[in-house]
Chains A and B, each alone.
Chain A
Amino acid sequence: PESPNSGGDATGPVPAKPDSAVTLNILDVAGNLQLTQGMIDEFAAKNSDQIGKVTYSKATAPELVGKIKAQQNANRVDIDLVLTGVDGLAAGIEQGLWTPLLPAYKDRLSGMNGYSEGAAAMQKLAGDHGVTVTYYPSGPLIEYLPAKVPSPPKTAEELLAYAKANPGAVQYARPSNSGPGRTLLMGLPYLLGDSDPKDPISGWSKTWQYLAELNKYVTLYPSSTSETMKNLANGSAKIIASTTGWDINPRVLGTVPKEAQVGALEGFHWVTDAHYAVIPKGVPAGKQAAILNLLADMLTPQQQAKAYDKGYFYPGPAVEGVTLDMAPAESRQAIQEYGRPEYDKLIADHPLEVPLDAKALVAAFDKWDREIGGAKVKK
């Protein structure tokens, strides 16, 4: 078998192609493989001269940095490609873990020029270190069963009033453990018109006040989004925070009844989300070459269409001009059945905002933990 370091030295120029087929070890900390594994497998199959074997492993984002760091300290990096969300990306940038890909190899990644507006904004967050591979506008949205909530709240104030009238009925998961949770957290400053939506500590006074008020009528903050989905399904929660992907995919999977509805609060901004590909420092040049070729392929519209998946990252593609009918049949069928035509209009009508950077986000989480989630015991 191949040694993990085949493909040459970590230093030196990156050739156009590896000398011989390499083994790629891919670590996914964002659940991105669900969208892209098909693209990768296809590329590997087609280019067996470049990629001999791909191994996939999964981890949670917080553990990513420690692991890469330990490997780099020991000079033995055996993770070649990391697929990560904003959190892992930023943490790695701050710790200097990633190989700078841009602008050096921008010409090899021509697909990056085709990014949609939102994706292009998200790519700025990655600086020179990562490549956006999938993108979606995310949320914040609210989700409910029409049978139980005949007239859903239309504004943030109405939501609060609803919560007041039905204690325990509104639920969102602990933001640091949940995508919809953090999207709601980051979306509120826009909804409420806070002074600086990018500064959770000093610019979010209305948001924190709103959350504290809401907190009075929230009985629990589950530790995962699936928990809130389950509660929605079994009726113990009536309105939960959601995103486009979390709306469609769980209904496909049967975790949430098909008839669940989503609603948007008046005047909301999308807080977008994306997944990035990064290469840890210390990956040999040959492997880097193969990865760059792989990424270039992944950014072609044909491959991007696979990102529609079963609505998990709806819509999913990061580049412009990828329509649903380019997607695999399975995807098309799922989205036709469970998707919502109104999303196109919502996406078109509401402004897109990039999420908080990692530092600010951690600070927001910490503040939420201390003042909202932890408030119940403090009293």
Chain B
Amino acid sequence: MTRAALRHRLAERGIDRQLLLLAPALACVLALFVYPFAYGIGLSFQPAEGGVLGAYRTFFTDAYQRDTIATTLGLALPAAILNVAASVPIAYRMRGRFRGKRLLTTVLVVPITLGTVLTAEGLLNYLGPTGWFNRTLISVGLTDAPVRLTNNYWGVFFSLVITGFPFAFLLILSYLSGIDPTLDRAAATLGAPWWQRFRRITLPLLAPGLATTFCLTFVLAFSVFPSAVLVGDPAGETRVISIAAYHAAYEVYDYPLGSAIAVIMGLVELAVVAVVLGLRSLLYTGSTGGKG
């Protein structure tokens, strides 16, 4: 009787044996992520010199290091914003059903498979001074000298767009398809022209999805590393924070500093994500009327 009662009481709170299904995943994350990560944080507090916060002090007192945060944000934020912003109108156009939609979506997804190296090689070939792009521009007469689009900010930016856009697009298309299309029609019958419908109905309902998508693409862009080296200007314009972390850990072998930079990287990223999710929680977050 009492055991049954206890079981009932726990069950009422939502605790029963089914929760054990969570155990393997939780164990994996704890052992393979939380433990090493905590280890890394611990390491960052044990620099060779400068006391507990020495590694952090080293990072923040050196403008060359500190500026990598701004450099990275300067790349990741615009890239994430562009990826999300460009996905919205395209997904908006594509949410209905039409012939060739599946093909078009598939093609839009292709860049996911490219991988950093091909993207980097391709950008260097294509956008390089004698690549097809500049050749076209010159032969059309738009410019006399080749436009420099690689080994600088733009090269990295384009590679972030190529790898990030399809991802953002897929997510947004998926979120957008979850919004009940009759809402749009209802607004139409109430006299709202298309841009009012978009601005006042679709966009607010899409906002939570936009926030999530933004966070995910931002995270992808923020940890950019290979392409910052390959198509960027890793000493200057595109010296992103992961290059600093890499430099500290693998070139100077200052593991505490490397860990500290990694931790800072994580914190900056979480801060941006928190701001975005915080803004999101101010908005409507309930059902979007999608039909199951």
A and B touch in the complex (CB under 8 A): yes
- By a beta-carbon cutoff of 8 Å, the part of chain A in contact with chain B is 62-63, 65-66, 91, 94-95, 174, 176-177, 219-224, 227, 230-231, 234-236, 362, 365, 368-370, 372-377
Neighbouring B residues of A62 by C-beta, 8 Å: 246, 250-251
| Closest Cβ neighbor of B145 among chain A residues | A168
Neighbouring A residues of B71 by C-beta, 8 Å: 377
CB pair B64 A370 closer than 8 Å: yes
State which of A63, A221, A236, A365 has its C-beta within 8 Å of the C-beta of B233. Answer: A221
CB pair A373 B236 closer than 8 Å: yes
Among the interface residues B151, B152, B235, which one has the most CB atoms of the partner chain A within 10 A?
A: B235
The list of the 7 closest CB pairs from A to B, nearest first, reads A373-B235, A236-B129, A62-B250, A234-B130, A369-B235, A220-B151, A374-B236
Give per-residue flags for B35-64: 1 if the beta carbon is below 8 A from chain A beta carbons, else 0.
Answer: 000000000000000000000000000001
What is the CA–CA distance of A234 and B135 in the complex, to the nearest angstrom? Answer: 12
Decide yes or no whether B162 CB sits under 8 A from chain A. no
| Closest Cβ neighbor of A219 among chain B residues | B148
Neighbouring B residues of A368 by C-beta, 8 Å: 235
Neighbouring A residues of B250 by C-beta, 8 Å: 62-63, 65-66
Neighbouring A residues of B235 by C-beta, 8 Å: 174, 221, 368-370, 372-374
| Closest Cβ neighbor of A236 among chain B residues | B129
CB pair B233 A373 closer than 8 Å: yes
Known: A221-B233, A362-B252, A374-B64. A369 touches B129 (CB 8 A): no
Decide yes or no whether B229 CB sits under 8 A from chain A. yes
Decide yes or no whether B194 CB sits under 8 A from chain A. no
CB pair B237 A377 closer than 8 Å: yes
CB pair B151 A65 closer than 8 Å: no
Neighbouring A residues of B234 by C-beta, 8 Å: 174, 177, 223, 373
CB pair A234 B236 closer than 8 Å: no
Decide yes or no whether B249 CB sits under 8 A from chain A. yes
| Closest Cβ neighbor of A369 among chain B residues | B235
Q: List 25 A-B contacts (CB under 8 A).
A: A62-B250, A66-B250, A91-B253, A94-B253, A177-B229, A220-B148, A220-B233, A221-B151, A222-B151, A223-B231, A224-B230, A227-B124, A227-B151, A230-B128, A234-B129, A236-B129, A236-B130, A362-B252, A365-B251, A369-B235, A369-B239, A370-B64, A373-B236, A374-B64, A376-B236
